[in-house]
Amino acid sequence: MTAPLRITLLPGDGIGPEIMSVAVSVLKQVAEQQNLEFEFTEALFGGAAIDETGAPVPEETLTACRQSDAVMLASIGGYKWDTLPRSQRPETGLLGLRAGLSLFANLRPATILPQLLSASSLKPEVVEGVDIMVVRELTGGIYFGSPKGIFETEDGQQRGVSTMAYSSSEIDRIGRVAFEAAQKRSARLCSVDKANVLEVSQLWRDRITALSADYSDVELSHLYVDNAAMQLVRAPKQFDTIVTGNLFGDILSDAAAMLTGSIGMLPSASLGESGPGVFEPVHGSAPDIAGQDKANPLAQVLSAAMMLRYGLSQPAAADQIEQAVLTVLDQGFRTGDIMSEGMKAVGCQGMGEALQAALST
Ligand code: NAD
C-alpha cells in the first residue's frame, strides 16, 4: 500500500452532489482493486458555501485544497444566487479557486466515443475518430490584462478597454505543458494565435517556435484563430493537441467539446506549476434537472480518471475507469442526455451501479 492520496471534494450545487457521489464510489472501488488509498475531505464551494459562510470560496476551502494532492470539483451555480452582485456569485468562486491555486493550464479533451457518434451534430464521417486535447492558458491574456475598465473620454463618450498581454514566461510555461501533453499523445501540436494582426500573438508564436527546439519529437504547426475555428468544424481529425491563449482557448475548447455533442461526457483538468490540480466536468450545475436522478455522471467520472492520470500519476487506475465507461456504453446504458433508440435508460444512480458492475468483472 502506498501513502494515502489526499483528495479534496467540492460537490458544489445543482447536480454536483449527485454526480460527485457516483465518482467517489467509482474511485473507492478502483482504490481497492489497484491497492491505492484515497483520503477524501469534503469542502464548501459555490452557492452551498455562500449559504453557509457568505463567500463562494471560503478561506477554509482554499486551505483544504492547498493541503491536498488533487481537487475534484463537480459544479456550481443556480437560480437562487443569480441575482447576487457579481463579486458574490458562485461563478466568481471559480476564478478565486483558479487564482488561489495558481492554475494556469486548462486541459480539455474532446474525444468522440464510437458508441456516441450519433450525438454529434456533424456528419459521422467527419467526427469519427476525433481525439483532440485543447490546452488553454487560464490566468493571463485579455481576461486579466491591464488597463481594463469603462472610462469616460474627454469628448464625453464612454470607452471600454480590455488588454491582451502575455509575458514570455507566461507563454513558455503553458507551451511546456502543451508540448508535454502532446508527447503523451500523438506528438502533434498546433499553436493557435492571431499573429497576422496582434503583437501579443507575434510574441506567442516566436516563443512557442523557440520552445519547439526542446521537443524535437513533437511536430509543431501554427494556425490563425479564425482558420482554426473553421478547420475544427471542417476537418477536426487533423488536430491532436492544440495550445492557445485564454480568450481563443475559451471559444475553441467549447467548439471542440461540441463536436462530441454530449456535454454530460466531457471532463477537464486545470493545472499549476506545482501543487494540486482541479479536475471537473465541463458542464455546469444543470439546475433544471437537479435532484431528479437525471444527471449524466460520466463527465465527473472521466474527470476522476483525468485526476488519476494528470494529478496523481496513477495511469493504470485512470485506464481502468475509462475502460469501465466504454463498457457501460457498449452495454447500452444511457442517461437522458445521450439516450438513443434501443438503448437502456438509466438515471444517475443507475449509471453508477452499471459502472460498479463493470469494474467488478
Ligand atoms: P449547464 O451546463 O448547467 O446546463 C446546460 C444544459 O445541459 C441543461 O439543459 C442541463 O440540464 C444539461 N446538462 C448539463 N450537464 C448535464 C449532465 N451532467 N447530465 C445531463 N444533462 C446535463 O449550463 P447552464 O444551464 O448555462 O448553467 C447552469 C448553472 O451552472 C449556472 O448557474 C452557470 O453559471 C453554472 N455553470 C457552472 C459551471 C461550473 O461549475 N464549472 C460551468 C458552466 C456553468
- Tell me the mean pLDDT in the region 20-37: 97
Contact indicator for 115, 260 with CB cutoff of 8 Å: no
Q: Three cell numbers at 312?
A: 496523481
Residue whose CA lies nearest to ligand 1 atom number 8? 286
So what's the pLDDT on residue 196?
A: 98
Q: How far is the CA of 112 from the centre of ligand 1 (A)?
A: 20
State the DSSP H helix or E strand holding residue 146, giving kind and residue range, or none if neither: strand 145-152
Least reliable range by pLDDT among 168-172, 208-212, 241-245, 310-314: 310-314
The pLDDT > 90 percentage for the chain reads 87
- pLDDT tens across 260-285, in order? 878 889 999 999 988 999 999 999 99
Residue whose CA lies nearest to ligand 1 atom number 37? 284
Ligand 1 pocket mutation, candidates 82, 136, 263, 351, criterion most atoms within 8 A of CB: 263
Cis omega before residue 236 (within 30°)?
Answer: no
- pLDDT tens across 46-56, in order? 999 999 999 99
| Distance of alpha carbon 181 from alpha carbon 17, whole angstroms | 30
Q: Within 6 Å (CB) of ligand 1, which residues are found?
A: 15, 75-78, 91, 94, 263-264, 280, 283-289, 295-296, 299, 337
Ligand 1 pocket mutation, candidates 285, 337, 348, criterion most atoms within 8 A of CB: 285
Q: How far is the CA of 202 from the centre of ligand 1 (A)?
A: 36
Residue whose CA lies nearest to ligand 1 atom number 12? 286
47: phi then psi, degrees, rounded to nearest 5: -60, -40
- Measured CA distances, 79 to 84, 216, 294 (Å): 10, 50, 18
pTM (2 d.p.): 0.90
- pLDDT tens across 100-110, in order? 999 999 999 99
Q: How far is the CA of 293 from the centre of ligand 1 (A)?
A: 15
Active site residues: 143, 194, 226, 250, 254
| Distance of alpha carbon 102 from alpha carbon 109, whole angstroms | 21
Q: How far is the CA of 228 from the centre of ligand 1 (A)?
A: 26
* Domains recognised in the chain with CATH numbers: 1-109+266-361 (3.40.718.10), 131-258 (3.40.718.10)
Helix axes of 315-330 and 16-34: crossing angle, nearest 10 degrees = 120
Question: Whats the size of the chain, residue-wise?
Answer: 361
